[in-house]
Amino acid sequence: MTDASSATRGDLRLTRITKTYGDFTAVNDLTLTIPEGSFFALLGPSGCGKTTTLRMIAGLEEPNVGSIHLGATDITTKRPYQRPINTVFQNYALFPHLTIFENIAFGLRRRGIKNVDADVNKVLELVELPHLAQRKPTQLSGGQQQRIALARAIVNRPALLLLDEPLGALDLKLRRQMQIELKWIQREVGLTFVHVTHDQEEAMTMADTIAVMNEGEIEQMGSPADLYDNPETAFVANFLGQSNLIKGRIEGTDGDNLVVDLYGQKIGMPKNRSHAVDNSIYAGIRPEKFRISLVGTPTRGNTLTGGRIEDVSYIGVSTQYQVMMPWGQEVMVFEQNDDGVAPFDKGDEVVISWEPNFTFALRGDEDAEAGTEVIPEDLDEE
């Protein structure tokens, strides 16, 4: 294929980027490095600034402050057509008056490449739609249009491929299929993908590295497993999956462990999983890490007694329990349905327990509800 970016290659660096619209700060002092060749996701709720960030990388918006570098080249003020960067737009933005072939050839022709047939056909093979070359975009299904939008971008072999909620308009089943396909294509073509999404499952399925954004800033960045297992803020803990955050105090240390008091009950957790700044913390435990046992049966690890089952939801692969703790907080517990039946009933008096290593600690002055109220809104709003 023909390379759009032989001159500029390398990591993408955003340095202290700020973008405001009137009184609204969309992106606030953002610094970020996206390594060459990675599949990078910007994850966050609607209005968190992720699409604005993407548009600044594409050149469709200009930052008020800060710089954008691709390798050694400063591209902050370059026009979109001067950047070796291509975008897969939300809702695809295919050219309705051109055939699929000409849609894909558009970028190549603009760069003055005369013989485009080989490149276009190759990329049509890659997305498995060579038979649609002479159709018009409106004659294609949503999933097919999505692939053509991808083909139209990657045929240029850009230094950076931007994907703006690329799967937002597809139904759930097709979306899952395309997630796997996109990841495969990224490995196949070896380009840097930057993917913007509000769907945490989508980000976790595809990306090597996820940056979780909230209110114009990056809350935390890391691999999907890092973010999920060891979130640093309440927002990340709640936005990526679900978390039980229990108010507590650090009472002391015991070797590499912290001793934490949760409403009068002592638990242990590794020191290096605490992101607190003082003794006041929220102890965080993922619902699937909890185990439930009836009062009187033996338990391992940390235990919290005095629970009562408030609600039982059987959802096939697991059963979800709402357990009322003595201090008036309901915690969530997901139990795998290994043996096929829900062994606990509403009203059962129970003890919950978990491995100390699964505990994480957040600052005690955080809003424990941050990131929970976020409902994926209409995509076009952003």
Q: Alpha carbon of 156 to those of 1, 29, 137, 161: distances in Å?
A: 7, 31, 20, 10
Look at the block and give the residue holding tokens 């327990």: 353
Q: Shortest Cβ distance from residue 89 to another protein (Å)? A: 5
Cβ distance to another protein smaller for residue 4 or 17: 4
Cβ distance to another protein smaller for residue 191 or 246: 191
Cβ distance to another protein smaller for residue 16 or 110: 110
Q: Can you tell me the distance from the alpha carbon of 59 to that of 76, in angstroms, rounded to the nearest whole number?
A: 8
Q: Can you tell me the distance from the alpha carbon of 37 to that of 125, in angstroms, rounded to the nearest whole number?
A: 22
Q: What angle do CA 146, 152, 153 make, to 5 degrees?
A: 95
Q: Can you tell me the distance from the alpha carbon of 229 to that of 240, in angstroms, rounded to the nearest whole number?
A: 10
Check if the beta carbon of residue 79 is closer than 8 Å to that of residue 22: no
Q: Shortest Cβ distance from residue 102 to another protein (Å)? A: 5
Q: Shortest Cβ distance from residue 96 to another protein (Å)? A: 7
Q: Shortest Cβ distance from residue 44 to another protein (Å)? A: 21
Q: Can you tell me the distance from the alpha carbon of 198 to that of 91, in angstroms, rounded to the nearest whole number?
A: 15
> Within its chain, how far is the Cα of 279 from the centroid?
30
Q: Can you tell me the distance from the alpha carbon of 231 to that of 222, in angstroms, rounded to the nearest whole number?
A: 10
Of residues 339, 341, 304, 343, the one with CA closest to residue 324: 304
Tokens representing 214 are 């909230």
Q: Shortest Cβ distance from residue 97 to another protein (Å)? A: 5
User: Residue 17 CB: number of other CB atoms within 10 A?
Assistant: 24
Q: Shortest Cβ distance from residue 61 to another protein (Å)? A: 11
Residues β-bridged to residue 25? 20
Q: What angle do CA 255, 258, 260 make, to 5 degrees?
A: 145
Written as one letter, the residue type at 164 is D
Q: What angle do CA 189, 39, 15 make, to 5 degrees?
A: 120
User: Residue 375 CB: number of other CB atoms within 10 A?
Assistant: 8
Cβ distance to another protein smaller for residue 82 or 177: 82
Q: Shortest Cβ distance from residue 65 to another protein (Å)? A: 23
Torsion of CA 249, 250, 251, 253, to 10 degrees: 170
Cβ distance to another protein smaller for residue 12 or 323: 12
Q: Can you tell me the distance from the alpha carbon of 101 to that of 45, in angstroms, rounded to the nearest whole number?
A: 35
Q: Shortest Cβ distance from residue 85 to another protein (Å)? A: 8
Q: Can you tell me the distance from the alpha carbon of 152 to that of 169, in angstroms, rounded to the nearest whole number?
A: 18
Cβ distance to another protein smaller for residue 85 or 237: 85
Q: Shortest Cβ distance from residue 58 to another protein (Å)? A: 6
SS3 40: strand
Cβ distance to another protein smaller for residue 149 or 245: 149
Q: Shortest Cβ distance from residue 90 to another protein (Å)? A: 8
Cβ distance to another protein smaller for residue 81 or 296: 81
Cβ distance to another protein smaller for residue 15 or 91: 91
Contact residues toward another protein (CB under 8 A) are 4, 58-60, 79-81, 85-87, 89-91, 93-98, 102, 106-107, 110-111, 152-153, 156
